[in-house]
Chain A
Amino acid sequence: MNVEVDVKTLVIDEQEVSARAGQTILEVARENDISIPTLCHLDGLSDVGACRLCLVEIKGSNKLAPACVTNVQEGMEVSTDTDRLRKHRRVILELLFAERNHICSVCVSNGHCELQTLAQEQGLTHVRLPYRNPNLPVDASHERFTADHNRCILCTRCVRVCAEIEGAHVWDVMGRGIDSMIITDLHEDWGASSCTRCGKCVQVCPTGALFDKSKIGSDHPKYPDFLPYLNLMREAR
């Protein structure tokens, strides 16, 4: 019996690559060691295309496409690292820094933060926009963890890992636009919510927004690499 694999060939950064139909540009790029910056994407979770850092240029289209949610097509010519993209990525990062209160020096994730690392990689030396300095709450009601909304970038990884992997769907997003906030249950304190205390949300949070109380003052690296294995083992059952 012949199993027909629908193979697509395309060009990413002048490199000819082949892919299976249904794969995203991001997946194919990473398979071929072409790096595209991401923030809301995490291997093992569904993609939502929220952060827009993975925007790429596709020849023949004036629109920029998010690589994490754009499927490959035959004959596509993709550029991942152009002046235009670099400019957009820097502005996105500047907007993220200006939106809430990201003070690296006193943050528990200093040195282990994906936002900080991305800013360094993209050569962000300063923010040209005025900081909003919103007065946002800290939810310290949970026995083990703290949610500091000042450091949240609304990537929704916590929402997805809680719903898709843990199956509890405690986290969700409230409000719209600049007023959006992640909440637990129907906007109750985290400590009073239906949280299962598994800590997956803390491990996938790219910044210091969700952290382990016992890690204050210590190094607080996060370990989100367990997700693909967890998925694999569940499928194998």
Chain B
Amino acid sequence: MSQTITIDPVTRLEGHGKITIQLNGQGEVEDAHFHVTQVRGFEKFSEGRPYYEMPGLMARICGICPVSHLIASARACEAIMSVRIPPTAALLRRMLNLAQMVQSHALSFFYLASPDLLLGMEFDPKLRNILGVVAAKPALGRAGVALRRFGQHIIELLGSKRVHPGWVVPGGVTEPLSTAKRDEILAMLPEAYANAALALSAYKQIADRFDAEIDVFANFPSNFMSLLNEDGSIEFTTGALRLIDAQGATIEDGITAARFAEVIGEAVEPYSYTKFAYYKPLGYPQGSYRVGPLARLNIVSSMGTPRAEKELAEFKQLASGPILSSFHYHHARLVEILYGVEKIEEILNDPGILDKHVRATAGVNRLEGAGQAEAPRGVLHHHYKVDENGKMLWANLVIATGQNNRAMNLGVLQAARHYVKDGKFTEGILNRVEAVVRAFDPCLSCSSHAFGQMPLAISLVSAHGKVVDRAVRG
């Protein structure tokens, strides 16, 4: 008799989701799905609001990566205004986005993933959390907390608030950087460098223990997409998108925000409120692709900063072409943390960083605009249409989690097929299936634009649709 395993809710994720694993009569895994069970609403209730409210309003989608939403949204608004923001504003925004990337990656690696990595997939679930990590590995636990604080504190210094700063506005930012704040951030850098280095060395020491997981954690050929600069270096705030195939060949380059909708479509599956983005010329699902830290490091040829450059070279040794196992998202995240700290230092030492001219003004000059940025978890795209008074007529957001949705589903199926045998499973096995999703660091709240609880839930369903077993956490 066939069965379905349900993990509901899946824990240590940002947002609410569940996993179902369907078994056939022989107890083999027939199919598996990752469901995002929240409902979206932001695109609808933004209608009728003035476009210049969008950065502040849209950023409320998420408390982890509001800055990416602020930037993608402000850039969409600037396309409507047809303005170029002052160079200092561009630098300040770049720093804000990097600070958020550092804190978000620190959250993903230390708070959400490291309990599995440092304590073990089979570790007592009651202690398999950040507090358990702090107890077992105090130095690493402290490094994680400190890296989060580093990023959050920069956001607070620049935008007056740790979460949802209102500082990024269409046309630039509201306040220039003061000398005192610049010096305060510069003073925080040595500790951040030390913590980033500690995290990287600790990860490299344990990575070998996870060869079995690396093999089955969403490890398959796929396309990848990320922003990058014209010189091939990594980019989070400006630049254009490149899509590559599983061999590393460029499928399409120079995808600007204005062209995004032309080449990227969104498919709908009945089991999830999150859409499935795909490259239109290849169709769905062949045109599916992965985004985020792994995609970025697979695509870029350089980091543009010395320490991260060395780490990139080492990272690229993991495979001859693009690195295909999603387990390596963790490693890529740590390389990006180091890059973030280095780039923030570079920006702070820019001679123009204290310039007072940080905002451009304009009215509605176009009735449609799109903006994109790299959120910590991948490409983020905002697309707006307005009336002649600047009131929103239509909005579409394409979120990293939607772009990784297909890969996460295939990854859950791959891991479930590998681990669940004869219809039998243990808590440790289910945790590995959840850990596949965690490697992507998806943000379910962003992807469905709703508010809700954090945890994720697994169920085991029979061929007759009967729920045989269910693991609920939260």
Contact = CB atoms under 8 A, between A and B. Distances in A.
Given A106-B53, A106-B60, A217-B169, A191 B389 contact: yes
A105 B58 CA distance: 12
Nearest to B364: A140
A39 B363 CA distance: 33
B389 A141 contact: yes
A106 B174 contact: no
B50 A146 contact: yes
B50 A140 contact: yes
Contact of A138 (B57, B167, B363, B391): B391
A138 B49 contact: yes
Interface in A138-176: 138, 140-141, 143, 146
Contacts of B363: 143
A214 interface: yes
Interface residues of B, number: 21
B322 to A, nearest CB: 39
B48 interface: yes
A102 B170 CA distance: 23
Contacts of A108: 53
B201 to A, nearest CB: 41
Contacts of B48: 135, 137-138
Interface string B335-349: 000000000000000
B359 to A, nearest CB: 9
Nearest to A139: B389
A217 B50 contact: no
B361 interface: yes
A143 B364 CA distance: 10
A216 interface: yes
B168 A217 contact: yes
A227 B57 CA distance: 33
Q: Which of the listed residues A106, A108, A146 has the most CB atoms from chain B within 10 Å of its own CB?
A: A106
A180 interface: no
Contact of B57 (A106, A191, A213, A218): A106
B110 interface: no
B60 A217 contact: no
Q: Which of the listed residues A108, A141, A143, A216 has the most CB atoms from chain B within 10 Å of its own CB?
A: A216
B166 interface: yes
B361 A214 contact: yes
A137 B47 CA distance: 10
A146 B49 CA distance: 11
Contacts of A140: 50, 389-391
Contacts of A213: 50, 52
Contact of B55 (A141, A146, A217): A217
B389 A216 contact: no
Contact of A217 (B166, B361, B390): B166
A140 B49 CA distance: 9
Nearest to A137: B48
B182 to A, nearest CB: 21
B456 to A, nearest CB: 26
A150 to B, nearest CB: 9
A135 B49 CA distance: 11
B115 interface: no
Contacts of B60: 105-106
12 contacts: A105-B164, A106-B56, A108-B53, A138-B49, A140-B50, A146-B50, A216-B50, A216-B170, A217-B55, A217-B56, A217-B167, A217-B174
